[in-house]
Amino acid sequence: MASRLVDDRTERFSELFREFTPSVRGFVRTMVAASDVEPVVQATFETAWAKLEAIPLLSQRAWLFGVARNHVRNHVRAERRRAFLVDAIGAQRPGELTSCPRGCVDPVEIAPVLAALQHLSTEERELLQLVAWHEMEPAEVAVVLKISANNARVRIHRARKHLETLMQPELGEVDR
C-alpha cells in the first residue's frame, strides 16, 4: 500500500515535471542569466517534489512560477533581473520579431518598449510579463504573486497605464 502511494506520487510529479519544465525554464530565463537558469529550475522542482500535495491542481503552472520567482528573488537582485529581461527580448533576431503570432512589430516600436521596461518597477514588469507573455488571467497572476485576484486585476491595469504613459512621448497617442 505504502509502495503504491509512493508510485502514485512519483508518477504525478513526473507528469508535472514533463508538462511544465519548458514553461518554467522560459519564465526563469527572463529573470536571470542563461547560465543561472538550470539551478533555479532544479530548485523550483525540488520544492515542488517536497510540497507536491500542496500544489493546487487548477493552477499548477502559476504555483510553479511563484516558487521559481521566490528562488530567483533569493539569489538575484532586482537591477540584474531587469537587465536579464531586456537582454532576453533584445537577443531575438529580427526574423523572429517579424514572425510574431500576435502581430508584427515595426522595428521602430522596439526601442521605446525596451526603454519603457527599464523604467517600470520590478512588480510592474512582472505583472505585464505574466499577462502579455505567459497569457495568464488575473487569477493566475494572483497565485504567482501571492495576492488576491482583485488586487492582481487592479495592479495589472495600473501597470498597463504606466507602460502607455512611458511610451507616449515616443510613439504618440495609443490607438484602441
Partner 1 sequence: MRVRDPFEILAALNPVPRLSETSPQDDELLATIIAKAPSTTGKRRRRLWVTGGTAIAVVGLAAFAVFHQDSASSPLQLTCYTTAQQPQPEQFGIPMEGDPVKACEQLWRNGTIGDAEPPTLTACVNDRGIVAVIPGDQQVCDRLGFANWIGALTDDEGQMMAFADELAATFSEKCIIEPDATAAAQAVIDKYQLDGWTIVQQGGYTPQRACSLAGAVPEQHLVVIASRRGAP
Which residue lies nearer to partner 1 by CB, 1 or 146?
146
For the packed helices 107-119 and 78-90, what is the interaxial angle rounded to 10 degrees? 170
Q: φ and ψ at 47, to 5 degrees?
A: -65, -40
Interaction of residue 56 with partner 1, rule CB under 8 A: no
8 CA to centre of own chain: 29
Q: How many of the chain's residues bind partner 1 (CB under 8 A)?
A: 68
Interaction of residue 79 with partner 1, rule CB under 8 A: no
CA 165 to CA 169: how far, in whole Å?
Answer: 8
CA 67 to CA 69: how far, in whole Å?
Answer: 5
Q: Which x/- pattern over 127-146 shows residues binding partner 1 (rule: CB under 8 A)?
A: -x--xxxx----------xx
Only one of the segments 56-64, 67-75, 136-144 lies at the binding site for partner 1 (rule: CB under 8 A); that segment is 67-75
Interaction of residue 27 with partner 1, rule CB under 8 A: yes
Which residue among 8, 10, 33, 115 contacts partner 1 (CB under 8 A)? 10
Interaction of residue 111 with partner 1, rule CB under 8 A: no
What angle is formed at CA 87 by the lines to CA 99 and CA 110, rounded to 5 degrees? 50
Asked whether 1 and 45 are in contact (CB, 8 A), the reply is no
Residue in the structure block whose three cell numbers are 519544465:
21
Interaction of residue 158 with partner 1, rule CB under 8 A: no
Asked whether 41 and 28 are in contact (CB, 8 A), the reply is yes
Cβ 30 to partner 1 shortest distance, Å: 7
**Residue 89: count of CB within 10 angstroms of its CB:** 14
**Residue ranges that bind partner 1, judged by CB under 8 A:** 10, 13-14, 17-18, 21-23, 25-27, 29-30, 38, 41-42, 45-46, 49-52, 70-71, 73-77, 88-89, 91-92, 96-97, 100, 102-105, 109-110, 112-113, 116-117, 123, 128, 131-134, 145-148, 151, 160, 163-164, 166-167, 171-176
